Chains A and B, each alone.
Chain A
Amino acid sequence: MNVALVLIKRNVKLFFKDKGMFFTSLITPGILLLLYATFLGNVYRDSFVTGLPPQITLSESIIDGLVGSQLISSILAVSCVTVAFCSNFLMVQDRVNGNIKDLRISPIKPSILSLSYYFATLISTLIICFLATAICLIYVAIVGWYMSFVDVLLLFLDVLLLVLFGTALSSVISFFLSTQGQISAVGTIISACYGFICGAYMPISSFGTGLQKAIMFLPGTYGTSLIRNHSMRGVFNEMQEQNVPSKVIKGLEDMLDCNLYFFDNQVSIPVMYLVLSLSVVILVGAYIFINVLKKNDR
């Protein structure tokens, strides 16, 4: 056990000391923040206001709260996965620069080595994502706070689950990478595409029907929706208290992916948790399986 702890410590230290990996992992949330601050925030604000029936007027605070919640939910949904990928690239870099040889010539079990990378990635990603969550909450407190204590706790739970998912997914994909070029290619693809396919950059409801149905098969979508639900629920509750019709609120929830529909059936929040948790278990199982296969293949 001590061996695993020392290796996890080594991997976490390396991640935070490697300025390249650390700052690359912060690029995605940084870009999102910049995009929102520059123009997306205003686009969403205008679409909310114009989408409301003429007889309903919402306070600036509620609109700011809604836009702010959408911003932070997008940032967190994407970061939990992209940061995990950046952090897991340490495993690939160890292969690229040959350091892995130095670990493998020892009598350490390959399973301990693999799990040390998994847990180190998990810890590094959690540190960054929990820190990002705290910063996001400060931002929401400034622009318009409507979250309850339970919402905050559930938001942290969502981030934890999504980080577990991102770590497992990145561990499986990184397992097959062995060159610097592959790291760059996968990093670029994940940074550019994941935000779209998980519904963080653009609401799923704005995609075509076929694409919407395809995206519902991806577990990350449910993670994004969970984060959206828990960061926006307070705003919707406040709207309800201000007598905004339920139909209007439901329309907004649909538009912002708080409600997900799997072939026209609404997916409940417990089912979203179940899908995400199961995908973590399956991906971790796959990671262990490919490691065992590789060991037998030596």
Chain B
Amino acid sequence: MKDIIEINNLNKSFGEVKAVDDLSFRVKEGELFAFLGINGAGKSTTINIMCAQLSKDSGNITIDGYDLDKSADKIKSKLGVVFQSSVLDSALSVYDNLQSRAALYGIVGEDFKKRIFELAKMLEFEDLLKRTVGKLSGGQRRRIDIARALLHKPKILILDEPTTGLDPQTRKILWGVISELRKSENMTVFLTTHYMEEASEADFVVIIDSGKIAAEGTPLQLKNTYTGDFVTIYGIDEDTVKGFGFEYEKIRDAYRLLVPDTKAATELILKNPSVFVDYEITKGKMDDVFLSVTGKSLIGGNEK
């Protein structure tokens, strides 16, 4: 797989504040790439620079083979962006909104009609076309935002916290469509999210903190590196658990031990086979990775 996004030594400061600090990473074509960080970590600044909305202080960005400094317009036609909050015209109908946005990419007339009906079917908003955007529910509006981003069949879809505040049904529709597009059109998805279960589905994750990369890797690599395994043992007394010498917590009808890795869990079981009658071993979660890497949790996107 080729690198569709290459960012090298990117820097951006606002006055004394260094928003992006020597940031370098690659995104492979067709992958789901998760870009994580608390609010103010530098995610939006990076995205704005990638979309040619903000100038950079230094560094290089190449997207689909085009240098951002030389071919910003070419890059813009490759990107579809779903912003954190909807930026459609509330006073206009869904149809009028999508018509004006499609025209920006030269999609007009019959081509537009064909495309809008494809998207309406895909994202299930055929019955919303004549409705005013300002009167739609949050979930309905999000579907229109996604449709807007997909109007020109972008090679890269940037999703900036796309599912925040959405109901489970809309989240399911959204991810269903995105998965389908990734399969059928090999679309690359660049995701920022506060939902770690979404990030755990990513092919590759970059966590940034204060504008710098704090950790990167596949979700499995990150879990293996930054969290231990959890061994949950049922029908055991606390004294026995205490004797294992690992950090533990009592849960409803069991004890959960934190062990360094799967190897340590296996050794523990082999040493104490009589105790391990009813148990399970689980990997740490992406929340634990994030907490371990940044020392902050992502509740609501703010530092906690």
Contact = CB atoms under 8 A, between A and B. Distances in A.
Contacts of B73: 107
Interface stretch (B8-16, B98-106, B264-272): B98-106
B55 A298 contact: yes
B152 to A, nearest CB: 8
B108 interface: yes
B136 to A, nearest CB: 16
B74 interface: yes
Would you call the interface of chain A mostly helix, strand, loop, or mixed?
A: helix
Interface stretch (A69-77, A94-102, A232-240, A279-287): A94-102
B95 to A, nearest CB: 12
Contacts of B96: 10, 13
Interface size class of B (residues with CB under 8 A): 20 to 34
B92 A13 contact: yes
Given A104-B53, A107-B74, A107-B76, A10 B100 contact: yes
B53 A101 contact: yes
Interface stretch (B34-42, B78-86, B189-197): B78-86
B147 to A, nearest CB: 13
A260 to B, nearest CB: 42
Contacts of A6: 99-100, 103, 108
Interface string B244-285: 000000000000000000000000000000000000000000
Contacts, number: 68
B88 A102 contact: yes
B103 A2 contact: yes
A98 B81 CA distance: 13
B92 A7 contact: no
B148 interface: yes
Nearest to A18: B91
Contacts of B101: 102-103, 106
Contacts of A108: 104
B87 interface: yes
Contacts of B89: 10, 14, 99
B51 interface: yes
A267 interface: no
- Residue from A9, A17, A99, A102 whose CB has the most chain B CB atoms within 10 Å: A102
B76 A105 contact: yes
B92 A101 contact: no
Contact of B87 (A14, A102, A107, A298): A102
Given A10-B92, A104-B53, A98 B103 contact: no
7 contacts: A2-B103, A3-B106, A7-B103, A14-B91, A103-B101, A104-B53, A107-B76
Interface of B: 51-55, 73-74, 76-77, 79, 81, 83, 85, 87-89, 91-92, 96, 99-101, 103-106, 108, 148
**A-B pairs with the 5 shortest C-beta distances?**
A106-B104, A6-B103, A10-B100, A102-B87, A107-B73
Interface of A: 2-3, 6-7, 9-10, 13-14, 17-18, 97-99, 101-108, 297-298
Given A6-B99, A106-B76, A106-B77, 8 more contacts: A2-B103, A3-B106, A6-B103, A6-B108, A97-B87, A102-B101, A105-B51, A106-B101
